[in-house]
Amino acid sequence: MLQKRWTILPHDAEKANRLRDALGISPVLCNMLVQRGIADFEEAKNYFRPTRLMLHSPWLMKDMDKAVKRILSAIENNESILVFGDYDVDGTTSVALMYQFLCSIYDTEKLEFYIPHRYTEGYGVSRKGIDHAKKQQHSLIVCLDCGIKSADLIAYAKSISIDFIVCDHHLPGDVLPDACAILNAKQPDCQYPFKELCGCGVGFKLASALAEKLNLPAEHIDYYLDLVATAIAADIVSMTGENRVLAYLGLQRINESPCPGIKALIQLAAVNSPLHITNVVFAIAPRVNAAGRMDDARKAVQLFIEKDFEKALEFAEMLHSDNVERRDADATITEQALEMIAGNLNFTHRKSSVVYQEGWHKGVVGIVASRLIERYHRPTVVLTSSGGLVAGSARSIPGFNLYEAIYQCRELLLAYGGHFAAAGLSMLPENVEPFSKLFEEVVSGSIDEQLLIPEIKIDTSIRFPEIKQNLYNIICQMEPFGPDNMRPTFIALNVNETGYSKIVKEKHLRVVLRQDQTTFTGIGFNMAEKFTLLQTRKPVDIVFTLDENEWDGNKSIQLKLIDMRLSESCPQS
């Protein structure tokens, strides 16, 4: 297990004290709320009780009026419309939302949806998709979760009399496409207050504006909130502002009356209700993503738009099967990659990981890169052969600009693209070794050594007697959790082992710990090697989150361990 850095996040003590006076809750909670930008009673009320009234008007988004006008014109003139989107969760939920909404206000014979194939078309807007639209006589393409950097392809579409409406959330390039409307809050001149919507969120805004224009009730558009919440969870966007409101409302819909497709996925995943965002991330999202990774993501949209539960269950079983295949490929390739790394005598001196083998499934190499980072925590590239070329995925570690490192190796590449944390790339087979060498040189020459040590960010210090049911209940009300609103992480100093801790299932650690005459049980997954620290019978410092354990009908708070070390080696806070 890698040694980790522990960083206790700072908080404004004065603001925390004022918030404590206003709310009358524990200092521990006030510290964490202030860290999340909550400074007074009204902000706390909005945080703990999100409502639909907190959503911004869709008309604040640049080009929204143009997008609505163009769609209504298409409907009035009986034009055919193609709804186009990416093959991941965000893209397929976006397409399902927009396609269903347009079906509710327009002739379904004039509507079609299109998902590009990962391996024959690649990411985003494709020429094949545009040619399909022309063949089917579509004169308008509503493009979701992609398109902002497809200026050339959208220009091609315009040259053959096909208009584009782009609904995207990725960073725009220097040249914007010549579309009849671009909905993207990240445009420099867009005044929309919240910049971190996912693609499905942008689609929801367009549907909301259309619904307003057509005087449809809010319930008409709220029907799709389960899809929006699924996209927010899967796309790992900031869980603040509108995203948090939409996720909160969407989770309510998922737990009360989800669409048949999501209901079928929940049944197959055997998830207990009520669902939380983590269930969506780990149970629903992988099954939807697996469709595009292993086969064709079109069936993910078919799942989401299906109204009959039994038919939806058939689609869900297809996705479930794809996910089983994906997991098997992921496990096999990860094991092979780890063996390759273990057999590389020079690996311990490297600041990066580059592994390549013919025959690896292209759809899972990104996941494998993430698995290798979990083990070795360094920028990682996993490559395989594809159509006579070598292609693959790269993943970064927090704080290191992966895209810049890939860019500096561009002379050895045929194609590349991505962002700070992830990238895709391709090259000729003879360039694999030169690339591995150059990538290592670039990473070694630019990375801060501190970044190679995994960091655990800790919200606040706590003592066992402060951990009470009321504290846990309020923490549960801080959900949904995600980036910028993570589940609270605590540190407890000078904790003693009681003699009842043990290793379970050979790799997990079951602990019984005491501090200030208060005892808690806890579980540390894959932390068996830390048992030797407890055997010293010396005080330890632990980092953990709070969880609830249910046994024989009784519920109790338990610790979910993240890390542990002997107290004398831990810097005191």
pLDDT in tens, 322-366: 999 999 999 999 999 999 998 887 777 899 999 999 999 988 999
* Average pLDDT for 519-531: 95
Query: In this predicted model, what pLDDT tens digit does every residue of 450-486 receive, in sequence order?
Result: 999 999 999 999 999 999 999 999 999 999 999 999 9
What phi and psi values does residue 505 have, to the nearest 5 degrees?
Answer: 50, 35
CATH 3.40.120.10 corresponds to the domain 5-11+456-569 = no
The class level of CATH for 58-320 reads alpha beta
**pLDDT at position 1, please?**
64
* Average pLDDT for 25-51: 93
For residue 103, the tally of other CB atoms under 10 A from its CB is: 15
Query: In this predicted model, what pLDDT tens digit does every residue of 256-314 receive, in sequence order?
Result: 999 999 999 999 999 888 999 999 998 899 999 999 888 889 999 999 999 999 999 99
Examine the pLDDT at 110 and tell me if it is beyond 60.
Answer: yes
**pLDDT at position 346, please?**
75
| Confidence tier at 111 by pLDDT (50, 70, 90) | very high
Question: Which residues pair with residue 509 across a beta bridge?
Answer: 503, 524
What distance in Å separates the CA atoms of residue 511 and residue 499, rounded to the nearest whole number? 9
* Average pLDDT for 409-436: 92
**Unique residue bearing structure tokens 């089983």:** 324
Express as a percent the part of the chain with pLDDT over 70: 99
Query: In this predicted model, what pLDDT tens digit does every residue of 74-91 receive, in sequence order?
Result: 999 999 999 999 999 999
DSSP calls for 44-61? HHHHHS--GGGSPPGGGS
**pLDDT at position 555, please?**
87
Examine the pLDDT at 373 and tell me if it is beyond 80.
Answer: yes
* Average pLDDT for 552-570: 87
Query: In this predicted model, what pLDDT tens digit does every residue of 220-238 receive, in sequence order?
Result: 999 999 999 999 999 889 9
The H or E element containing residue 497 is strand 490-497
Distances (CA, A) of 271 to 266, 277, 284, 309: 6, 12, 9, 17
| Confidence tier at 209 by pLDDT (50, 70, 90) | very high
**pLDDT at position 568, please?**
73
Question: Which residues pair with residue 518 across a beta bridge?
Answer: 515
Examine the pLDDT at 573 and tell me if it is beyond 80.
Answer: no
Question: H helices within 49-141, ranges in order?
Answer: 64-76, 89-105, 127-135
**pLDDT at position 570, please?**
47
Which of 374, 372, 366 lies closest to 423, judged by CA?
366
Report the CATH number of the 333-452 domain. 3.10.310.30
> Please, what is the average pLDDT of the chain?
93
pTM, to two decimals: 0.92
| Domain boundary assignment for the chain | 5-11+456-569, 58-320, 333-452
| Confidence tier at 386 by pLDDT (50, 70, 90) | confident
Examine the pLDDT at 571 and tell me if it is beyond 50.
Answer: no
344-380 burial code (b ≥16 CB/10 A, e <16): eeeeeebbbbbbbeeebbbbbbbbbbbbbbeebbbbb
